[in-house]
A and B are shown apart, each in its own frame.
Chain A
Amino acid sequence: MLAHQGSYKAMAIAAAVSVLSIVLLMMDMRWVYLLVYVWFGVIYGLLLQYGRFCMASAIRDLFAIKVPRMAVGVMIATALFSLTAGLVTVSGYSTFHPHPLGWHIIAGGLIFGFGMIFTGGCASGSLYKSGEGNVASMLVLLSISFSQALFVDLGSWSNSLAPSSWVASAAEKGMPESLSVNDGWFDTFTAGYIWDLSGGTIAQSLDSGNSWLDVFVGNALLGAILPTVVLLILLYITTYRKGYIRRNKIESPTFNDHMHGCWAMMTTSKNTALAGLGLGVFAGLQMWATGALREHYNIFNFGELLQKMGYTQGLSIQETVFDPGYWYITTQEAQLGGWVLDKAGIDVMDNIFFGLMNGIPNPLINAPLLMSVGIIAGAAILALTRHEFKWKVPNMETAIFALVGGALMGIGARLGMGCNVGAFFAAVTNGDMTGWIFLAGMLGGGLLGVKVFTMWIDWRTSADDDFDI
């Protein structure tokens, strides 16, 4: 009986998203732009839950229990997305913008990677686990949202932390007074440091005149596929080879044995590998769909469309909103935190992050935020169907880890200009090498986090007589 209930609830969620989509389209066909985000979110949610796809798990399980399952899945998704992203780029519909290169990338990765070990999930992992009824993951989302919103809106007390060179450089940018670029550390960091940096993709550096060659050899092959192959070989050597040879009773392993071993490692978890394949394909399709709609409506940003539709509240002073056009997680969560703070009477539009760049649109018309809601819905649909949905209320230990870890993830994401998806996955697959630097930071932070977490578990089990059998 319960099994049926789960399926009915899953169908009810799918029906609700479908009906709301139809109603929106009947009101105004231009809502299709927002619905592309929603439905790709639903697909990501289904795939993430199906493959238990989580970047925190990739790093944590690797260091803590020597399991490469998830790291392999991420590598498969990365290699494939680089090809679909390449197709989108040469077709002229890419929405990707490379990140500026600087120390902030590795610092952000370190803090983000350390925090996510304690939360039990990365940015997108916390979304799909929320869809499984995990209340601790919901706390992580809240913590990521508000920590980001508060971090980008740091008050005057933080001014002295910014070097004088940043202050001078920020003052030269000629920004409107309403943004008060030298009031608040994050504003000075953005205008006086980030804006002085440059970045680019491998294809842009090659610039051979043949876009296919630049994109597929530069961005995809050199920037993503070769590094993932190297990492897969490293994963095999360091975590899988020994056990594979022992289990298969191979006495003198040949090259062929190792090739079979690599294949066995990649297919250990078929769910994870298939989810990686699906994410790679759909992440590219989303970029294409959004790029095509931008061309169709002759816009560069969803803010323009919102304005044409009569929605002007919450737009930035450039009349834009956050609109990456691809899989992204953290900035829209910051917008949610900013919107709530604004409603509570705290002016957050006087900073660059919200006031100039991303705005704080109403969550009901915030397209990337609704993609995140779609991820939760998609994960809930599959979890209910597979009888894996269960409301799980965290104990005090888990709740504290979720809130503190989530806050660190939020701060790391803003410093590094994205999370494991925006700053790593979307970057490296589009030929932007800052993504690998963010990964290096995440690995360092993750390793440190696992050491601290292991010490915590050791202390807990040594203090707990129940575990001492």
Chain B
Amino acid sequence: MAIKFDKVSDGQYQLDVCGYVCPHPQMYTKKALQKLAAGDELTLLFDNPSSGESILSMCESEGNEVFEREDGEGSFAWKIRKG
């Protein structure tokens, strides 16, 4: 159950922090977004509901856009575009 951060294709990345609880998901998301260029997209997979609220606020304050959300049965797949 390690954290996985992969480059899927040009400008497309995926971070999987499933199995981790606060504060891991939000801190790894911040770290991953720092590695991306403006316009790149990150698919974030996590299963800690409370991290989502913090990640939304973090993206809003840093000018990144959560443009797609798939939520279901305790698992979340969000797409974030770096601003």
Using a CB–CB distance below 8 Å, which chain A residues touch chain B?
2-3, 6, 52, 54, 56-57, 60-61, 64-70, 117, 120-121, 125, 129, 132-134, 136-137, 239-240, 243, 246-247, 268-269, 271-272, 383, 387-390, 392-395, 398, 453-454, 457, 460-461, 464, 466-467, 469
Residues 45-78 of chain B, each 1 if its beta carbon lies under 8 Å from chain A, else 0: 0011110111011101111000000011111000
Question: Contacts A395-B19, A466-B2 given: A134-B48 contact, CB under 8 Å?
Answer: yes
Is there an interface contact between B54 and A69, defined as CB atoms closer than 8 Å? yes
Q: Which residues of chain B are near A120, meaning CB under 8 Å?
A: 21-24, 48
Please determine whether B27 and A392 come into contact, CB atoms closer than 8 angstroms.
no
* A246 to B49 alpha-carbon distance, docked (Å): 29
Q: A68 — which chain B residues lie within 8 A by C-beta?
A: 57
A2 close to B57 (CB less than 8 A)? no
Q: Does B30 lie within 8 Å of A65, measured CB to CB?
A: yes
Q: How many residues of B contact A (CB 8 A)?
A: 40
Given pairs A120-B23, A121-B21, A398-B24, 9 additional interface contacts (CB within 8 A): A64-B30, A240-B61, A268-B57, A269-B57, A390-B74, A392-B21, A395-B20, A460-B3, A466-B5
How distant is B74 from chain A, measured CB to nearest CB, in Å?
Answer: 3
- Given known A-B contacts A390-B74, A464-B3, A129 and B21 have beta carbons under 8 A apart: yes
Given known contacts A52-B53, A387-B72, A469 and B21 CB-to-CB distance under 8 angstroms: no
Q: Can you name 17 A-B pairs with beta carbons within 8 Å?
A: A6-B73, A52-B53, A54-B50, A61-B57, A69-B53, A121-B50, A132-B49, A133-B74, A243-B62, A247-B63, A268-B60, A269-B57, A383-B74, A388-B71, A390-B75, A392-B74, A466-B6
Closest to A140 in B: B21
Determine if B61 and A243 form an interchain contact, defined as CB atoms under 8 angstroms apart.
Answer: yes
Contact of B63 among A134, A243, A453, A466 (CB under 8 A): A243
Q: How far is the CB of B32 from chain A (nearest CB, A)?
A: 8
Cross-chain contact B63 with A67 (CB below 8 angstroms):
no
The reply to whether A390 and B47 form a contact with Cβ atoms under 8 Å apart is yes
A61/B5 in contact, CB under 8 A: no
Query: Which of A269, A389, A457, A469 sits near B53, CB closer than 8 Å?
Result: A269
Q: Which residue of chain B lies nearest to A60 when distances are taken between CB atoms in the complex?
A: B23
Note all chain A residues with C-beta closer than 8 A to B63.
243, 246-247
B40 to chain A, nearest CB (A): 11
CB distance from B68 to the nearest CB of A (A): 18
